[in-house]
């Protein structure tokens, strides 16, 4: 698990704030669910045969003997909350969430045991139009933060019936190739053969090139849906590729599944994954509620954005002070400026003025505010422009009355 250090945090905050604005503009509402849930929620919601539930969850008994799990993803929790709080009584829900998720995986670049997702869920929406909008919200967000070199891949997993025919045929085919499969895939053959399509093993992927394709098993209705989605994406000028092998890791998907990948992340290529999960809400005890969602991996996104996305966060004012009785006055002035929305940092050192000025320079402040014994006796503060090319102190230095701090505030704001 990884610390997020002050040096990196600005990038996170920028991405988060762009996300919030983007979601607000699309009329999405935020939902925050607990990080801890009963294990049963994920076992039922994600599926026992998946890697996430089978191998990756942080599960323990609490003091009341209940089996609890740190959430490995957000969708099951959102679904639970929507059911429990009767949110669907107010119609379909267009929601977003963000926060830490936990999976016991082998840590590497872009893969951590605590990681963060940003996700959108459309609960109770069935139309292909809602799918196109949901995908466009992800696509536009990645454009908004300036991500380049990304690709949208799309597939249709059809209905349960479509998939069960396919599963049978795929199993027959895989059994013939059993000896050529990797260890993980051999184990999956009986539990969850579709997941083998999702294998990250290159040899298995090569082998699968000749496997039967899910596409051939889609009903006419499923196929029509899929074509309509493609048509809408064309109209939106969102480029995509159809990938019939795209199945996604979790059990609950049906019809549309999609991923947005980058060519710069090695085997951690997926930045955003999503799809339709029509059965989830009813599996968890709610009514029949077609739904669709996606999640973006924040660590991967931020890795990809690299340094392009830092803007140096410099305080406007550095408050230099020295001498008896200046402590309280300095802190008081700082508070007044902060109340007025002006970022200001206070020097604590009591060292020489020149040392304090050096520090102000080092952190890149635009102004130094100076309170020494001399100023205090005259009941003024001095304001000095830093990094100024002009040597004329008349244009770079100003004094303000301590009893009229509002004048200083007005000056700094203009």
Place of tokens 């604005």: 21
> Smaller CB distance to ligand ATP: residue 163 or 321?
163
> Smaller CB distance to ligand ATP: residue 117 or 222?
117
Number of H helices, E strands in the chain: 16, 16
Nearest distance from residue 114's CB to ligand ATP, in Å? Answer: 8
> Smaller CB distance to ligand ATP: residue 212 or 249?
249
Of 53, 83, 84, nearest to 70 by C-alpha is 53
> Smaller CB distance to ligand ATP: residue 277 or 357?
277
| 121, 93 Cβ separation under 8 angstroms | yes
| 139, 240 Cβ separation under 8 angstroms | no
Nearest distance from residue 106's CB to ligand ATP, in Å? Answer: 9
What are the residues facing 344 on neighbouring strands?
317
Nearest distance from residue 198's CB to ligand ATP, in Å? Answer: 7
Task: Kindly state the tokens that stand for 398.
Answer: 């100003």
The backbone torsions φ and ψ at residue 257, rounded to the nearest 5 degrees and listed phi first, read -130, 145
C-beta atoms surrounding 378 within 10 Å: 12
> Smaller CB distance to ligand ATP: residue 246 or 376?
246
Nearest distance from residue 273's CB to ligand ATP, in Å? Answer: 3
Nearest distance from residue 412's CB to ligand ATP, in Å? Answer: 42
Query: Residue numbers of the site for ligand ATP (CB under 6 A)?
Result: 73, 103, 105, 110-112, 115, 117, 249, 268, 270-273, 295, 297, 299-300
Burial call 341-355: b when 16+ CB within 10 Å, e when fewer: ebebbbbeeeeeeee
> Smaller CB distance to ligand ATP: residue 111 or 385?
111
Residue 157 and residue 159: Cα distance in Å, rounded?
7
> Smaller CB distance to ligand ATP: residue 45 or 297?
297
Nearest distance from residue 285's CB to ligand ATP, in Å? Answer: 23
| 101, 114 Cβ separation under 8 angstroms | yes
Nearest residue to ligand ATP by CB is 297
Nearest distance from residue 272's CB to ligand ATP, in Å? Answer: 6
């Amino acid at each position: 698990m990884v610390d997020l250090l002050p040096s990196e945090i600005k990038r996170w905050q920028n991405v988060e704030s762009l996300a919030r604005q983007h979601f607000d503009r699309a009329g999405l509402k935020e939902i925050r669910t607990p990080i801890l849930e009963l294990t049963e929620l994920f076992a039922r919601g994600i599926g026992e045969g998946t890697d996430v539930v089978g191998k990756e969850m942080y599960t323990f008994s609490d003091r009341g003997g209940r089996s609890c799990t740190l959430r490995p993803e957000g969708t099951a929790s959102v679904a639970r909350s929507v059911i429990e709080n009767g949110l669907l009584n107010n119609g379909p829900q267009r929601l977003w969430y963000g926060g830490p998720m936990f999976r016991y995986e082998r840590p590497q670049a872009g893969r951590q045991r605590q990681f963060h997702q940003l996700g959108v869920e459309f609960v109770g929406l069935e139309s292909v139009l809602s799918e196109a909008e949901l995908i466009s919200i992800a696509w536009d967000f990645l454009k908004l933060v300036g991500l380049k070199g990304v690709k949208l891949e799309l597939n249709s997993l059809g209905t349960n019936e479509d998939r069960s025919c396919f599963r049978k045929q795929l199993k027959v085919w895989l059994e013939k190739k059993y000896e050529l499969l990797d260890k993980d895939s051999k184990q999956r053959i009986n539990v969850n053969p579709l997941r083998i399509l999702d294998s990250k093993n290159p040899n298995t992927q090569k082998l699968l090139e000749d496997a039967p394709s899910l596409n051939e098993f889609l009903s006419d209705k499923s196929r029509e849906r899929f074509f309509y989605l493609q048509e809408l994406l064309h109209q939106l000028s969102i480029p995509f590729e159809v990938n019939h092998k795209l199945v996604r890791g979790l059990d609950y998907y049906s019809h549309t599944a999609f991923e947005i990948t980058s060519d710069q992340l090695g085997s951690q290529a997926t930045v955003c994954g999503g799809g339709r999960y029509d059965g989830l809400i009813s599996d968890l005890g709610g009514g029949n509620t077609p739904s669709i969602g996606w999640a973006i991996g924040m660590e991967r996104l931020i890795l990809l954005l690299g340094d392009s996305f830092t803007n140096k966060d410099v305080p406007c004012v550095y408050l230099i002070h020295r001498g008896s009785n200046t402590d309280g006055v300095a802190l008081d002035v700082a508070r007044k400026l902060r109340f007025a929305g002006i970022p200001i940092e206070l020097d604590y050192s009591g060292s020489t003025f020149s040392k304090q000025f050096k520090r102000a320079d080092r952190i890149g402040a635009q102004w130094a505010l100076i309170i020494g014994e001399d100023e205090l006796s005259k009941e003024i503060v001095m304001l000095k422009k830093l990094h100024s090319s002009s040597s004329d102190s008349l244009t770079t230095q100003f004094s303000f009355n301590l009893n009229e701090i509002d004048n200083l505030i007005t000056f700094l704001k203009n």
